[in-house]
Amino acid sequence: MSTALVLFRRDLRLADNPALDAACAAHAQVLPVYVHAPDEDGAWPAGAATRWWLHHSLAALDHGLRRRQSGLHLRQGDTLQALRQLIALTGAGAVYWNRRYEPAAIARDTQLKSALRGQGIAVHSHGAALWCEPWQIATGQGQPYRVFTPYWRKLRAQLPAPAPLPEPVLPGWREPAGGLPLSALGLLPRVRWDGGLAQHWSPGEAGAAELLQIFADDAVHDYARGRDLPARHGTSRLSPHLHFGEISPRQIHARLERLASQADAARRPDIEPYLRELGWREFAHHLLYHFPATPTENFNPRFGALAWAAPDPAALARWQQGRTGIPLVDAGMRELWHSGWMHNRVRMIVASFLTKNLRQHWQHGARWFWDTLVDADLANNTMGWQWVAGCGADAAPYFRVFNPVTQARRFDPDGHYLRRWLPELADAPLALLHEPWKDPAQCRRRGYPAPMVELAASRQRALDAYAAIAR
Ligand SMILES: Cc1cc2nc3c(=O)[nH]c(=O)nc-3n(C[C@H](O)[C@H](O)[C@H](O)COP(=O)(O)OP(=O)(O)OC[C@H]3O[C@@H](n4cnc5c(N)ncnc54)[C@H](O)[C@@H]3O)c2cc1C
C-alpha cells in the first residue's frame, strides 16, 4: 500500500491545496506533516505576531484533518532529517509540498529535493499561493517585470486561473511515533501580550472563509472608495490568511466572479480594483523571486548613496510606540501594536514618516513590521517599504512625502480612526485632533506628546537628501 508525506508550510488549508490533492489521488496512505524549522528561514524567521498566528492556524488545520479521520503530525528541527525519519517509520515513497518563494526557502527546498530524490523518493512540488508562478510572466524580451502596470496587464489577461480544487477525500493515516504536541513548538509568547490579536482574528481556513463571505456581502461593493478609509472595514483583511495559505487567490477570484455574475446589474460589484490589489501581491512575489537580495538591498542601486540620518534608537522607539506626537502616525502604530495589523493607507503614512521625516533607513521599519504584523510577508513587506522609501521597483517618486495632517483630513475627515486609537484625544475637537501641537497646554493636560519633528522642516531635509542622489 503506497504512502506519501504531505509537507504543509504556507498552505494551511484543505481545499484548493494542489499538493494534498495530488497525494490523496495517488496514494492509499497520506501523512500530513508540519516541520517547525525557523533556522531554515535564514535572516527572516517568523516574528512574534506571525508565530502567534501560526500556532492557531496549525491547531485549526489539525482540527480540520481530525474531523476527516486524519491529523497533522508535528516535528521540529532539520526538515530533511525529520522527513527521513518519517520515511523510515512509514515506508513512504513520495513527498508532496506546495512551493514557497523566499530565497532561503527556495535554497532549502532545492536541497531537500535533491537529497530525497537521491535516496529514491519521489518529490512533487506544486504552485498554490499565486495565480501565476513568478517565472511564468516575462516581458517581451524574456526579462522579469520591474513596473507594475505592464506586469498587471499581462497577468490580468491570463485570468481566471484554473478553477480551485475541491477538498480531497483523505485516505487513512496511521500516525507514527515521535509526533510533538503543538505546545512543544513554543510559538506563543511567554508573557501574554496577545489578547488584542485574539480579539481581532480567527486564524485558520474557516476564519478566512468567513472574512471572504463578509467582504463579498458588503465591502466589495464600495471597495474602490472604501479601501482608503481606515475607520471603515472597507478592505477584506484577508492578508494574514493569504500569507499562511488558509485561502488561495484562486478561491477568492472564483468567489467574487460568482458574486458578480449572480448579482443583478444594480448590485454588481466592481471586482477589478480588488483583483488589482491581489495583482500587487503577485508582483511582490515576482520581484522577490527574481531579485532575491531586495529584503536587505535597495532595488534601485542609486539609493546606496542616500544620506540617511544616523540610526536613532530613541526616535525609533517613539515611532514604534505611537508616541511621535503626529496623530495619524501614532494611531497607526498603536493599531499595529494592539491588533497586529494596520490599514494600507496608514502603513504608507507611517512608513513615509519614518523614512522621510525622520530619515531612518527603511529596514528599521521593515524589521519592526516583520515582528509585529500578523500578515508579515517577505515579498509584500519588502516591496511596501521600498516603494514608500522611493528605492523600490516602480516606487513612489522620492519627492512624495505623505503629509499626515492632509491625509487625516482627507481619509479620516470625522476623526473616527484617530479617536479610536488615541484615547488621550478621543473627545478632542476635530481641529485639535488633526493638529494637536497648535494647543500645547491642552496636549500636556491630556498627556499627548509634543511632535518629535516639525513636519514642513523635516520634509525639506528629506527632499534635500533625496535631491542629492537624484542629481
Ligand atoms: C510599508 C508597507 C508594508 C507592508 N507590509 C505588508 C506585509 O508584510 N504583508 C502584507 O500582506 N502586506 C503588506 N503590505 C501591503 C498592504 O498594506 C496589505 O496587504 C493590506 O493592508 C492588507 O489588508 P487587506 O487584506 O484588508 O487588503 P485588501 O485591500 O483587502 O487587499 C487584498 C489583498 O491584496 C494584497 N494586497 C493589497 N495591497 C497590497 C500591496 N500594496 N502590496 C502587496 N499586496 C497587497 C494583500 O494580500 C491583501 O490581503 C504593506 C504595505 C506597506 C505600505
The yes-or-no verdict on residue 395 having pLDDT over 90 is no
Ligand 1 in reach of 384 Cβ (< 6 A) = yes
pLDDT tens, residue by residue, 226-236: 999 999 999 99
Nearest atom of ligand 1 to the alpha carbon of 350: 1
What pLDDT is stored for residue 173 in this prediction?
Answer: 83
178 C-alpha to ligand 1 centroid (Å): 38
Ligand 1 in reach of 243 Cβ (< 6 A) = yes
294 C-alpha to ligand 1 centroid (Å): 18
Q: Could you write out the three-class secondary structure of the chain?
A: CCEEEEECCCCCCCCCCHHHHHHHHHCCEEEEEEEECHHHHCCCCCCHHHHHHHHHHHHHHHHHHHCCCCCCEEEECCHHHHHHHHHHHHCCCEEEEECCCCHHHHHHHHHHHHHHHHCCCEEEEECCCCCCCHHHCCCCCCCCCCCHHHHHHHHHHCCCCCCCCCCCCCCECCCCCCCCCHHHHCCCCCCCCCHHHHHHCCCCHHHHHHHHHHHHHCHHHHHHHHCCCCCCCCCCCCHHHHHCCCCCHHHHHHHHHHHHHHCCHHHCCCCHHHHHHHHHHHHHHHHHHHCCCCCCCCCCHHHHHCCCCCCCHHHHHHHHHCCCCCHHHHHHHHHHHHHCCCCHHHHHHHHHHHHHHCCCCHHHHHHHHHHHCCCCCHHHHHHHHHHHHCCCCCCCCCCCCCCHHHHHHHHCCCCHHHHHHCHHHCCCCHHHHHCHHHCHHHHHHHCCCCCCCCHHHHHHHHHHHHHHHHC
pLDDT tens, residue by residue, 192-202: 899 999 999 99
pLDDT tens, residue by residue, 303-353: 999 999 999 999 999 999 999 999 999 999 999 999 999 999 999 999 999
39 C-alpha to ligand 1 centroid (Å): 26
The yes-or-no verdict on residue 120 having pLDDT over 80 is yes
Ligand 1 in reach of 435 Cβ (< 6 A) = no
Q: Which residue has the higher pLDDT, 161 or 33?
A: 33
Nearest atom of ligand 1 to the alpha carbon of 342: 21
What pLDDT is stored for residue 161 in this prediction?
Answer: 82
Ligand 1 in reach of 256 Cβ (< 6 A) = no
| Cell numbers for 186 | 513554543
Ligand 1 in reach of 385 Cβ (< 6 A) = yes
CA torsion angle for 309, 313, 317, 323 (degrees, to 10)?
A: -50
Nearest atom of ligand 1 to the alpha carbon of 373: 8
What pLDDT is stored for residue 242 in this prediction?
Answer: 98
Nearest atom of ligand 1 to the alpha carbon of 387: 53
Ligand 1 in reach of 376 Cβ (< 6 A) = yes
Ligand 1 in reach of 237 Cβ (< 6 A) = yes
Nearest atom of ligand 1 to the alpha carbon of 223: 29
The mean per-residue pLDDT over the stretch 70-96 comes to: 98
The mean per-residue pLDDT over the stretch 452-457 comes to: 97
The yes-or-no verdict on residue 265 having pLDDT over 80 is no
Domains of the chain: 3-128 (3.40.50.620), 129-162+204-290 (1.25.40.80), 301-470 (1.10.579.10)
Ligand 1 in reach of 214 Cβ (< 6 A) = no
Q: Using most ligand atoms within 8 A of CB, pick from 201, 277, 336, 362 the residue to mutate for ligand 1.
A: 277
242 C-alpha to ligand 1 centroid (Å): 10
pTM score above 0.95? yes
The mean per-residue pLDDT over the stretch 70-85 comes to: 98
Lowest mean pLDDT: which of 134-138, 285-289, 396-400?
396-400
380 C-alpha to ligand 1 centroid (Å): 7
pLDDT tens, residue by residue, 202-218: 999 999 999 999 999 99
Ligand 1 in reach of 459 Cβ (< 6 A) = no
311 C-alpha to ligand 1 centroid (Å): 27
Catalytically active residues are 277, 280, 308, 344, 362, 385
Letter string b/e over residues 326-349, b meaning 16 or more CB atoms within 10 A of that residue's CB: bbbbbbbbbbbbbbbbbbebbbbb
Q: Using most ligand atoms within 8 A of CB, pick from 201, 256, 344 the residue to mutate for ligand 1.
A: 344
Q: Are 91 and 3 in contact (CB under 8 A)?
A: yes
Nearest CA to ligand 1 atom 16: 344
Distances (CA, A) of 63 to 73, 173, 259, 344: 12, 15, 30, 32
387 C-alpha to ligand 1 centroid (Å): 12
User: How much of the chain, in percent, has pLDDT values that exceed 70?
Assistant: 100
